[in-house]
Amino acid sequence: MAEMLRLESVSRRFGGLQALVDLSLSIGEGEGLGLIGPNGAGQTTPGNGIPRAHPASRGGVLCEARDITRLRACQAARVGLARTFRVVQPFRELSVLGNVRAAARFSSGGSMREARRVAEEKLAFVGLAERSALPAASLTLAMRKRLELAKALAMHPKLLFLAEVNAGLNSAEAEQAMELIRKIAGSGVTIVLIEHLMKVVLSVSTRVIVLHNGALVADGTPAQVVADPHVVEAFLGKKYAQRAAETAQ
């Protein structure tokens, strides 16, 4: 498996808080990586730092062997990195189509005609084609989550960071979201899933890493990770670990 992304001793400090501590990590092309940990463990920081929302305090990031540590967000988008946010905030005054078209132009700088074509394609992919003319403010939370995915996909990502895509969704909506993530993974996009819900992680990921206090404490298949005593103690708890192990098998 070719390497898509490499983090080399990446650290990130926010004032007195050390969010990441010398994190080194390799992500393979086409991999589905689940990134988990207790609240405050630092698992959202790589998703913020690699597309440059919160750049690393120390260390380096390489995408397909290219140093992207200091790239701005628009530059990172143009080398194939995209992300979604836990709290979705579309451009409320724009239509659904307008939101995705804006994302397509941001990443490529192409024509409005091409951006519209890409936007229509991605809205069809996520099941929002019939709502393309509606104002984004009129969508339900589940639909806004789909719109967030369409915006990210319109940037033609090679690697997509997904931040708690199921937060706030009911069980039926969450299952639909997981199926959509599987479709994205099946299209060849490398996925990093930043998630607290183990059901989602175990359903979608082929590999799971666990962060605790900003440091890497486990890295392996879902079955290996839920059986790791350090993960059980720090994050899962014995009862949940047993149930998760049964799910991962």
pTM of the predicted structure, to 2 decimals:
0.84
Number of domains in the chain: 1
Cα 160 from Cα 50, distance rounded (Å): 11
* pLDDT single digits (tens) 10-57: 887 765 566 777 888 899 999 999 988 766 544 555 555 555 545 566
Tell me: pLDDT of 87 over 90. no
Cα 162 from Cα 164, distance rounded (Å): 6
Does residue 102 belong to any structural domain of this protein?
yes
Does residue 80 belong to any structural domain of this protein?
no
Under 8 Å between Cβ of 195 and 166: yes
Does residue 213 belong to any structural domain of this protein?
no
Under 8 Å between Cβ of 86 and 163: yes
Q: Which domain holds residue 124?
A: 90-156
Instruction: Name the least confident of 46-50, 88-92, 107-111, 174-178.
Output: 46-50
